[in-house]
Chains A and B, each alone.
Chain A
Amino acid sequence: MFKKILIANRGEIAVRVIRACREMGIKSVAIFSETDRSAMHVEMADEAVFIGEPPPLRSYLNMDSILRAARLTGCEAIHPGYGFLAENHKFSERCEAEGITFIGPDSKAQMLVGDKIASRKAMSEVGVPVIPGMRSAGKDIEEFKKAADRLGYPVMVKASAGGGGKGMRIVSDPSKLKGCIEEGRREAGSAFGDDTVYLEKCLVRPRHIEFQILADKEGNAIHLFERECSIQRRHQKIVEESPSTALDSELREKMGRAALDVVRATGYTNAGTVEFLLDENGDFYFLEVNARIQVEHPVTEMVTGIDLVKWQIRIAAGERLSVKQEDVVQRGHAIECRIYAEDPANNFFPSLGKIVFVKNPEGPGIRVDSGIYSGYEVSRYYDPILSKLIVWGQNRDESIRRTVCALSDYIIIGIETTIPFLIDLVKHPDFLNGAIATDFLERNFKMWKKSDKCDLLDIALVSAALSGEEIQIGIKSKKAIISPWNMLGKWRIGEK
């Protein structure tokens, strides 16, 4: 087993990996940009190395700095987390060349699954159904137009190197095709350094169902059942759960087998996710392989009891996968809510600034994977995910009720977050009935506003006045204070 691992990431996922390292007796090394000097992953790691300026290209995407940090601290392996360099085969190649183990699939498998156009081809060859679409990238707009006409609108513009919804556009109107391709190219280019885009037929009201897999280097592979990830905005998931209400045991088994076919066809090792779209007729199509640990991995950990990050590390170290397919069972129901620094009432615009106070929810079946604390400053340079609330219950009903309670107990003050929106979301009748598809938010929450209509308005107003009263007493000698809490010390009402 490795003695020391560098975690080439930040935020909640870096914290998650450090936790696994600690429990396994492995030393952890964090890296940080100027902005992240006091970030939680830096505090938690055994060692921390400065790697550059805040923009990702100069820090968390800077391969030279990261590899230098690994050499400097004597790390034997690098865990890339998700995003940043996680699916960059050039990075894993460089790790391989330097004799540092990259915790993930090898660069060859990474390259194949990372290229959506090539992986679609590989899947059709082994009989896994794929969504009708272009077999190669379009050279000019005419070729895209022809392909779109052949597939029939609506079509989806997708980045070949894509992930996380970047570069993706739905086109329903032929006149918008050119603009959407240009936008998609620009976004893909800046996110992945590769602006190749192609078109796929856009399925109407599909569900997004994915299967977690684990595969060792000896050819043993298992799946750990599905995650339902249909609740998305801007093609980014916001609530995930397992099991899915859309699968019966027969379909579940069929999709699980297909996921393992994908693993074998690509020679994939380590942890990965096979994404499918499921249409209203129960037909499913291969979407892509996510060659990394995913944001929503805790949902699977909660229902199967298997620690995916630890298995990533063990497999990378050459251990055999000792868990057999028949050992993996789904127990109860888990839901994950992603807490973003975004204003849900304002088109999910990023909400930046200092978090003045945080209180995590507690209680049975509640897990919080977080990268924030009171006093943490949300930076404009990185993904706005703050933390994830994962709730387990004996069944779906219990886990939904528990989620509502836990979200209500989750206090983050100083910036806008998705918490109030998530509370309304999980209480929506369609969500309660499990009648969800990828258009759920668009359909039901387009003009969502925080509701002030509540019995507690009076209490809130009185509290606001009390809050103001404290300030008034406090600033007797100082006028025009903009943010009194930053300038005043602690004091208490009622004290002379």
Chain B
Amino acid sequence: MEHEFISGDRIYTINLEKRDGKFKAVLDNREFEIDLYEISSNHFSILIENRSYSVYHFRRESTQYIVINGHSYCFEIGGEEDTLGTKTDKALGEGLIIKAPMPGTILKIDVKEGDTVEEGECLAVVEAMKMETGLYSTVRAKVKKIFVDSGRQVDGGEVIIELEKI
């Protein structure tokens, strides 16, 4: 079966097959024979060419987390239409949709609709876990729409400000 993962700007395709209780994986025309032993629901041990790797894994929505020998990886899961769709939206909206990074309270909004903002300019301040954090623009843009008033509670991922390319 085919699996697709996105890391940075690259898409990786892995073909996985199960034969006689062992897995065979093909990645970039290279073949790996894998012996897998599941230790717990988030932990398996694999042997590839007699080398052993202890792998911790976890999937949340379209993100796959992997930790191997102390190195952690985070991949976007591709291959399904809806996840690819999200990916494209993300690219289109790069830096233009300002979302609350976590649940909290909007302390203040520093801009108003129609303002031009510079790269690095503070747009709003969110408070969560007793810390104030500024949300900064990563691009030079125009403020298209402000969705929330200061003082309001927001959920993580809630859109606060939409910017427009200039």
Interfacial residues, chain A to chain B (CB-CB below 8 A): 166, 183, 186-187, 190-191, 234, 346-347, 349-352, 356-357, 359, 380-384, 407-409, 411, 413-414, 419-420, 423, 450, 452, 454, 456-472, 482-485, 488, 490, 492-494
Contact = CB atoms under 8 A, between A and B. Distances in A.
A380 B103 contact: yes
Nearest to A468: B3
A467 B71 contact: no
B59 A468 contact: yes
B106 to A, nearest CB: 13
B164 to A, nearest CB: 23
B47 to A, nearest CB: 11
A485 B61 CA distance: 11
B16 A382 contact: no
Contacts of A350: 101-102, 128-129, 131
Interface string B49-67: 0000101111111001111
A11 B38 CA distance: 32
Contacts of A414: 58, 60, 65
26 contacts: A166-B130, A357-B56, A380-B104, A409-B70, A413-B57, A420-B71, A456-B69, A459-B46, A460-B71, A461-B5, A461-B27, A462-B25, A462-B34, A463-B46, A463-B68, A464-B64, A465-B5, A466-B55, A467-B58, A467-B66, A469-B16, A471-B59, A483-B60, A485-B42, A485-B58, A493-B36
Nearest to A184: B132
Q: Is the interface of B mostly helix, strand, loop or mixed?
A: strand
A468 B64 contact: yes
Interface string B6-46: 01100010101010010101010010101010101111101
A419 B107 CA distance: 30
A210 B25 CA distance: 54
Interface stretch (B72-80, B87-95, B141-149): B72-80
A413 B34 contact: no
Contacts of B12: 461
A161 to B, nearest CB: 14
A151 B128 CA distance: 33
B73 A457 contact: yes
Contact of A461 (B14, B56, B133): B14
Contact of A458 (B18, B27, B75): B27
A450 to B, nearest CB: 7
B132 A187 contact: yes
A452 B73 contact: yes
Given A380-B104, A461-B5, A462-B32, A484 B14 contact: no
Interface residues of B, number: 60
A483 B59 contact: yes
B114 interface: no
For A350, A463, A485, A488, which residue has the most chain B Cβ atoms within 10 angstroms?
A463
A100 B10 CA distance: 63
B132 A380 contact: no
Given A411-B56, A450-B72, 5 more contacts: A349-B133, A380-B128, A383-B129, A452-B73, A458-B27
Contact of B58 (A347, A357, A465): A357
A296 B73 CA distance: 29
B131 A380 contact: no
Contacts of A472: 1
A461 B101 contact: no
Contacts of A351: 102
B107 to A, nearest CB: 7
Nearest to A83: B130
Given A183-B132, A383-B129, A467 B64 contact: yes
A166 B131 CA distance: 8
A465 B59 contact: no
For B8, B69, B70, B103, which residue has the most chain A Cβ atoms within 10 angstroms?
B70
A351 B55 CA distance: 22
Contacts of A183: 125, 132
Contacts of B7: 452, 457
Interface in B110-165: 125, 127-133, 156
A464 B57 contact: yes
Contacts of A352: 102-103, 156
A195 to B, nearest CB: 14
B70 A467 contact: no
